[in-house]
Amino acid sequence: MNPRAILKLLGVFIFFWGWEGVGFPQADIKVETKLDKNKVSIGEKVGYTLKITANKGIEVKLPEFGEGLENFAIEDFGQKKRRFFRRVIYEVWYKLSSYQSGSYTIPSVKIFYKRKKDKEYKTISSKPLKIEVKSLLAEGKPFKIKDIYGPLPYPFNWCLALFILTIVLGSIGCGIYFFFGKRKPSFEVKIPPHQQAYKKLELLKSKDYLERGDFKSFYVELSNILRDYIEERFQIKALEMTTEEFFSFLREANYFSPEQKNILKEFFSFSDLVKFARFSPLKEEVQKSLSSVENFIDQTKQQIDDDNQ
């Protein structure tokens, strides 16, 4: 076909299309409805489409169906609008479903429209559509409802059971090993307080405090040895007491004889003089302090021996 013939046909088409949109109501608007299926089963969705084609300048009111359309429930819906030359095309689609079998008619739909210069709306109706909803049951056969099944047993998993059993037995075995296997009988040999004190005194004598003239360090360590011995021997918090607190305690204590109390008072008084007043004792005074400590330990240790006899 040559280009001239194509142009002639196009001109004829435009002429008749333009003529159709002039003057008469039926040319102003057109309504079409269709179903994508005429036969469906219960619960099956069916598509229902409403198509409205109107001339440009025509005001259209789209219908509102709410939640249902006759015996059908509206599961979903949507709409779109497009223009084609001097026409406006509205398409509204619905997804319908029914749970009652039978033959139904989707009634015609009234569309209200008017031109912009008109005051009142006019109506145009679509064609009704027939649809059949079939039951899922076989025709002519009685339907018998079967009783529900009882509870089914949980499928036994041997691999999972062996894994859990291994974990449990392993945990029990580890517990037994750590609780009993590593518990070895221990016999703690308690060294008497006086023996501990003697060892500390010998260690103190081997140090070079006196040779260096460090009398303060010597008396700090010597007084701590005596306090530690008293604490272990008599269960007295001697290391935590100040000298004044210890003297106050001595006045009320019945652990020591008057002679032993005098030994302690003289020693701790002289020791504080060296430690805090920077007093430098003579060699004979240092030896006397050592002898006082050893003498006190000997006397109180002897009391322990007497108690054990």
- Domains defined along the chain, listed by start: 22-134 (2.60.40.10), 193-302 (no CATH)
Q: Are strands 129-134 and 39-41 parallel, antiparallel or unpaired?
A: parallel
Instruction: Please report where in the chains the tokens 């004044």 appear, as a residue.
Output: 244
Mean pLDDT of 36-62: 86
CB of 28 closer than 8 Å to CB of 55:
yes
Asked which of 8-12, 146-150, 152-156, 220-224 is least confident by mean pLDDT, the reply is 8-12
Count of C-beta atoms within a 10 Å radius of residue 115: 13
C-alpha to C-alpha distance for 61 and 110, rounded to whole angstroms? 10
pLDDT band with cut points at 50, 70 and 90 for residue 86: confident
**What is the full DSSP assignment across 188-247?**
--PPPHHHHHHHHHHHHHHS-HHHHT-HHHHHHHHHHHHHHHHHHHH---GGGS-HHHHH
Tell me how far apart the alpha carbons of residues 42 and 87 are, in angstroms, rounded to a whole number: 39
What's the chain's average pLDDT?
80
CA distance 236 to 134: 101
